[in-house]
Amino acid sequence: MRFVGLLLIGISLVGCATAAPDGDAVRVRWQVASLKDVNEICNDGIPPANRKRAVGCYRRSFDECTIYTADLKEDPDLHDTLGHELRHCFVGRFHR
Ligand SMILES: [Zn+2]
């Protein structure tokens, strides 16, 4: 797995984002891996029958959030995926 970037994002620096759930800054780490590895990471702990094909996911603990994605070659919608997972980092679960 290749480490691509580490971003420190203060809410005040992200004009279009809403506040993080706790109102504090969130440290965001972006890790790019093969699509196969992303699927394994994102489906970790999920029973095989319930696993889905994942192009990205996030894992948040306290003020740190890690986003896992494939690269642009394996995910042509990488920008959407990254934005989607970043939103999760700030607001948690938003799917209905
Ligand atoms: Zn989602």
Instruction: Give 96's pLDDT tier (boundaries 50, 70, 90).
Output: confident
Q: Which domain holds residue 46?
A: 2-91
| Best CA proximity match to 8, nearest among 41, 38, 30, 31 | 30
Q: How many whole angstroms from 13 Cα to the centroid of ligand 1?
A: 23
Q: How many whole angstroms from 37 Cα to the centroid of ligand 1?
A: 18
Q: Which two tokens mark 87?
A: 């939103």
Establish if 54 belongs to a structural domain.
Answer: yes
What is the pTM for the complete model shown? 0.74
Establish if 96 belongs to a structural domain.
Answer: no
Q: How many whole angstroms from 80 Cα to the centroid of ligand 1?
A: 11
CB-based burial of residue 89 (10 Å sphere; 0-12 exposed, 13-18 middle, 19+ buried)?
A: buried
Q: How many whole angstroms from 94 Cα to the centroid of ligand 1?
A: 7
In tens, the pLDDT along 19-67 reads: 455 567 899 999 999 999 999 999 998 888 899 889 999 999 989 999 9
Establish if 85 belongs to a structural domain.
Answer: yes
Q: What are phi and psi of 48, to 5 degrees?
A: -50, -40
Q: How many whole angstroms from 88 Cα to the centroid of ligand 1?
A: 7
Q: How far apart are CA 53 and CA 33, in angstroms?
A: 14
Into how many domains does the chain fold? 1
CB-based burial of residue 6 (10 Å sphere; 0-12 exposed, 13-18 middle, 19+ buried)?
A: exposed
